[in-house]
Amino acid sequence: MNDLRKLPVAPDALSSSVSAGNTLSQYNFNSLIDVLRDGIEFGPDYNNPFKQKFIPNEPTQSLIARYSSPDHQIIEETLLQLRRAKYLSRLGSRSQLPSDVNHAWSQLSRFKMTPWQVIQPPAVRVKTDAQQRELTNELSLLSIRKTPSQSQQKWRHRSSDQTSQNLVVIHTAERLELRHPERILRIEGRQAAVAYPEFGLVEINDWGDQARQSIDQELPWLPHRSNAELAEMFTISQEQDDAKSRTLKLIQPHTPHAFVLATFDKTSGLPTAWQAYVRNKLSYQLTMIPQRVTAHLPAQPNAAQTAPIEQWELVNSSATAAIEPLRSGWNSWFIADETETGSPLDQICDIIQQGKPASARKLLRDLLTQHPDQAFLHFLSAWLDELHVRPDKLPTPEQLASLKVVVQSGRGGLMRLIDGHRFVSLGAGGVLKLFAKQPIETMPASLAWHLSDQALQAGQGELGLKYLNRAVGEAPPAQPDKAASPLILEQSLRRIQLLALQDPDKAVELATALPRDPKSWEWLLLAAESLANAERPEAAARLFDEVINHPSHTPHERSGLLVRKAGSQTDYERWRALIAATEQLPEDEQSTHGYLDTVLEESPDSATLMRLLKTISSRRLSLRLRVFAADHADDETLRLRLVTELAQERWDNELVVSPLWVVRHWLKEPTRIVDYAYSLLRQGYVLDEPTLIEVGHALNAQGRAKEYQRIQSRRLEKNSQPPSDINPNILGGGVGFF
């Protein structure tokens, strides 16, 4: 998400949803919803039980987000990105560069990390005399801005969540380079190299423009851009000029309603302010003092200035700089030069797409003989080996050897891609063995966190806690009455999950201390599931109930939570939760979800069924359960009592159960059958043939054969009129019917 923050929407798209008059028709809710959903789709709550949706509230021109807490954090992050986007100019391609390991894998699995497309440069146009004069005038205005021909600067960037990272930007007359903790961008003319230190991979293509724009987003006041470049990017005019400073107005030709006011000190030539406007409304501002740049959102009227949302601090600067050529200096890195036709990676990808992974595997082996020290190739080789190993077999010796090279390489991104999911032949336990010789005390926190997850998957709680303590330290437990950030909650949950393997009672203690605010609900539920797996169902049920019983849930939400609770319980508690989940739904949906069917399929004993009956408030569900109990009762007395009760039940003057079902349960009670049949006949019901046969057997057993013949002839006289319809929706179908 930090990287996505650097990739704003185009000002055109931004301004299309902001109008001078703020009329309702000009607010585009759908576009905003699409942007927000794109982030949530891969968030931690993709499968959570809450009913997720956005609700446009047109009277207040607002958008209501109904999501659970981890996704709300993603929404907040995305909105922060959109705020920051307001001041940025048009930046061409805005594809996110992979930083998160999972995102990187989504790119890497296609044998290409950098998602940029090659954009053909526009045709060179000869400037008219008027355009040339305008350009000369703009360069004259920009002459106040001092830009050395070469420099190297190190900036420490701190974001609103107080995380910080170092950025090194170097520029010479021929090249430009940005060193980011997760990537290196090196630009030379139209071409750029995008290097990923954690993966040992360098990709080269005609990405010069996109790479420059990516650096623009990291340093939005554009200290790395020359005056000539600014004159090409913007239409520049003078807004204000005095003895100490000059303010210039920077407008992009295609978005005249969005502009920047940049103020430069006449003595130092450095910027002192950088203000972004949309439709003449200040939307974002940078303030500069020597060696520090601070970003603010505009304050509300009569309010104090808002807290900084970003800050850049100059750590050191040098007027001399050097950058190696695009393809030099990448020792032990794999260089994927996409400007060359038929590059090795392209060949491998093509062969795999042709359904010939074995040939791709051979080509990778040949590359490894030429570059045995390149961890990236070793990882791809091991991954391709995995495609040829059945999950029930051990990894091949070659695969293990390649993975050991990756582990020893120190390439953290590749190391964190080794898990029991991608390498099923290894499993989580095999992954832990690969890293067994790596000292935990000096391990990077991100790798230790990854291995704590593998230990959890392998059921090794003690080892997992060692990795976790290395990753996050021995953090104090959360407090129920205080909200916590998603990061703290995630760390607490991991500790609870690992303790559940080692010390379940301690896990219960930590889970009980989790915050109870709505933003923490999902984490509370995950903790409850861990406790249930650790055979602490009572503690798990208490945590579930705290969330389930909150009055803010809709019936559908509560039903989903009850189903989730049922998954963590067994026997009676499980069935009770499933029945409660069914009762939360509207009657026309109760049979479609199948929760009660699940209870019946698991066949509780008669005593348990009777206990469950006492918890049911819905008559429809009670009838279904009583029919099932009668069909499966071991106790004859109980069965006869249930059948007798059900025989008298009516739903809108219709029989709930068929007469045939009743008489077959009374085969040993001919008197009951005869009395029941005469009762139905007196009420005007007509008995069908199978039922009459059973009634005849009962009358014969009583020595009353003539009565049976009279009933039969009476039925024939009425032309075999069918019995009254019995509504199959009364009980939802499936039990006690024709």
For residue 227, pLDDT beyond 90: yes
Residues 6+ apart with CB under 8 A from 341: none
**Better-scored residue on pLDDT, 52 or 21:** 52
Confidence of residue 23 (pLDDT cuts 50, 70, 90): very low
Q: What pLDDT sits at residue 24?
A: 32
Confidence of residue 668 (pLDDT cuts 50, 70, 90): confident
Q: Mean pLDDT over residues 648-667, rounded?
A: 87
Distances (CA, A) of 162 to 156, 171, 707: 12, 28, 92
Confidence of residue 406 (pLDDT cuts 50, 70, 90): very high
Q: What pLDDT sits at residue 70?
A: 61
Q: What pLDDT sits at residue 687?
A: 82
Q: Are 560 and 526 in contact (CB under 8 A)?
A: no
Dump pLDDT digits (tens) for 335-344: 999 888 777 8
Among 258-272, 395-409, 470-484, 513-527, the range scoring the smallest mean pLDDT is 470-484
What are 273's strand-pairing partners? Answer: 263, 287
Q: What pLDDT sits at residue 667?
A: 82
Token pair 């407008």 in the structure block, residue: 251
Q: Buried b vs exposed e over 683-713: b needs ≥16 C-beta within 10 Å?
A: eeebbbeebbebbbebbeeeeeeebbeebbe
Best CA proximity match to 612, nearest among 601, 599, 602:
599
Q: How far apart are CA 182 and CA 413, in angstroms?
A: 9
For residue 62, pLDDT beyond 80: no
Indicate the average pLDDT of the chain: 81
Rounded percentage of the chain residues whose pLDDT exceeds 70? 78
Q: How far apart are CA 455 and CA 465, in angstroms?
A: 9
> Which of 26-40, 493-507, 694-708 reaches the highest mean pLDDT?
493-507
Dump pLDDT digits (tens) for 165-215: 999 999 999 999 999 988 999 999 999 999 999 999 999 999 999 999 899
Pairing of strands 271-278, 281-289: antiparallel
Best CA proximity match to 137, nearest among 253, 251, 237:
237
Q: Are 574 and 552 in contact (CB under 8 A)?
A: no
And the tokens for 30?
């759908």
Best CA proximity match to 344, nearest among 318, 362, 319:
362
For residue 426, pLDDT beyond 50: yes
Q: What pLDDT sits at residue 38?
A: 59
Confidence of residue 475 (pLDDT cuts 50, 70, 90): low
Q: Are 395 and 385 in contact (CB under 8 A)?
A: yes
Pairing of strands 176-180, 164-171: antiparallel
Q: What pLDDT sits at residue 634?
A: 85
Best CA proximity match to 141, nearest among 244, 55, 246, 290:
246
Q: How far apart are CA 491 and CA 505, in angstroms?
A: 18
Confidence of residue 594 (pLDDT cuts 50, 70, 90): confident
And the tokens for 140?
């004259």
Q: Mean pLDDT over residues 367-375, rounded?
A: 91
Residue 287 burial by CB count (10 A; 0-12/13-18/19+): exposed, middle or buried? middle
Dump pLDDT digits (tens) for 69-118: 666 667 766 665 564 444 333 333 334 577 667 666 667 766 678 878 77
Torsion, Cα of 373, 379, 385, 389 (10° steps)? 130
Please give the model's pTM, rounded to 2 decimal places: 0.73
Q: Mean pLDDT over residues 499-506, rounded?
A: 94
Dump pLDDT digits (tens) for 273-285: 999 998 888 888 9
Dump pLDDT digits (tens) for 687-726: 888 888 888 888 888 888 788 777 766 554 443 333 333 3
Residue 303 carries which DSSP code?
Answer: S
Distances (CA, A) of 77 to 36, 82, 297, 341: 10, 9, 15, 40
Dump pLDDT digits (tens) for 306-330: 778 899 999 999 999 999 999 999 9
**Better-scored residue on pLDDT, 30 or 140:** 140
Q: How far apart are CA 375 and CA 347, in angstroms?
A: 19
Q: Is the dihedral of CA 147, 152, 154, 160 positive or negative?
A: positive
